[in-house]
Structure 1
Amino acid sequence: MALKLGIVMDPIEQIKPYKDSSFAMLLAAQARGYELFYMNPNDLYLTQGTAQAQMQLIKVWETPDDPNYFALANKQQRPLADLDIILIRQDPPFNQDYLYCTQILEMAERQGVLVVNKPQSLRDANEKLFATWFSDCMTDTLVSAKAEQLKAFVDAHKDTIFKPLDAMGGASIFRVKQGDPNLNVIIENLTDHGRHLIMVQRFLPAIAQGDKRILLIDGEPVPYALARIPLAGENRGNLAAGGCGVGQPLSVRDKALCARIAPTLKARGLWFVGLDVIGDYITEINVTSPTCIRELDAHFGLNIADQLMRRLELAVEEQSRD
């Protein structure tokens, strides 16, 4: 019997299918004969303690020159427990609505649905703070809302990167050097005058060689990384900030970082993760909606989404035997 896979994602009509990792997952699952069900986060609901959703059967196709890349059937109200696998692929920020979504999905998980990634772990693993669990793999880092601590860090390290804890795609990231006349206003804006924690790190000159995205499936790294090279005069390699993606094999150091982090990912049900590495150091561990499947597939003739689906099929089989 065909597996039933649901996906909770942002509006599919707004994606760019040629570069969207969620779309790659749908294509791979469909090719393996799954029934696919599409949901937006606000389609989830609870009734009498049962997790349900207004979901739609979806079909997708690879049509580079055709804007019609999907078709949706009428909405149907069904228990989430009718599904075998649910992918949660909603982009950050991680706000209260995202929290509620994970709580509803956790109820489905309790009824036997494999939710990817595990809802509890999505709540626990802020993508920037999670990296600090592996401080031996990071450059010098401070997380604080206190202006005096943040200023002292800049004085000590001379050249730094400031970033909020809840943004994505390189949003609101600042390079701050000692003596920067804008330091006070940057701190005020990012911390909202000391109300919110932010992260500051020692600037890594290796960003010039790229911010590498490494994808891991159940702790196993894809053997190639996408080095996102910043534009001239830019400090951010994110593709959303205009970075250029260059594929390259994993280095010895990349593999060591993956081996260090993999057991924690596996233990926490973080099935699909994007590790960001600059030089010898991790900077973020992306767990909500990691990207770069399409770029790595194109560079190296891979089918990363199919690898993921095959691993999830095994997990469903293992779960049914327990």
Structure 2
Amino acid sequence: MIEVNTVTKLFDETKALDNVSMRMKQGGVYGLIGSNGSGKSTLLRIISGVYRTDGGSVTIEGESTFENTALKDRIFFVSDEPYFFSQYTIHDAAKFYRQYYSNWDEATFKRLCEIFPLNYKKKIHTFSKGMKRQASLLLALSANPDYLLLDEAFDGLDAVIRSLLKRIIAEKVVDKNLTTVITSHNLRELEDLCTQIGLLHYGKLVMERDYDSLKDSMHKVQLAFEQAPDEEKLKTLAPLKTELSGRVVTLILRGEREELKPKLDAFNPIFIEMLPLTLEEIFLYEMEGTGYDFSQIMD
């Protein structure tokens, strides 16, 4: 488990992180979201041991990562701006990482070289941004870490490669108990992959939830009636949002499906349909409930 305990990080007079606490469970995918400048990249660099905190602590399995060589052997951090030595091809970079990662998986490296559509004879510095990111991800997965930290992992990747990456990560989570932290400002990229979600805004943690509980705690409900429904009675359901269109009403409701069903049946509708919400919609309504404008947070 990765434990972030009241972490503060300063750059001159600017607080990049302000008293942030999180728990990232073992063997899952933690989606760390927020706008540019929210502190996501800084937090990943602290977790990976690149930065030292100015307050609080970050531990993995109870140990600090800063200046901890043995623990860093089990962590791979892919930066938003991948860096490679100017003369390195992917095979040169692989040779470099083999020296530092004791769990390097040559079979995985060879398999991914067959999958990722890259020119393995060219110098990596000549690649496009998307190709550099593919090279970084290929090497990261081949290093076979226990903790994989990905900063804006899907940025610049086409749909096919994004789908492939998600599948490979999901397989390693199941087969190897891999713990992955992925930062993104695009919720749609994360909703079919994450087991936990955390939202940072101006260096502060706004929300942290298990994805399944978050998804199951809110519903879009459509009801149809023989006559126009009584709006005042509908308010007893405490909807987060209500839309009326003739005899059809759409409600955004909090609560478990099993708890909501009998309450909805009591209105004697012609039919009831519960529709899934996207992760972006869930956060929009959750943030409105806590006084935040989610659209501004994610700009």
Task: State the TM-score, normalized to the length of structure 1.
Answer: 0.25
Larger radius of gyration: 2
Greater RCO, CA 8 A, separation 6+: 2
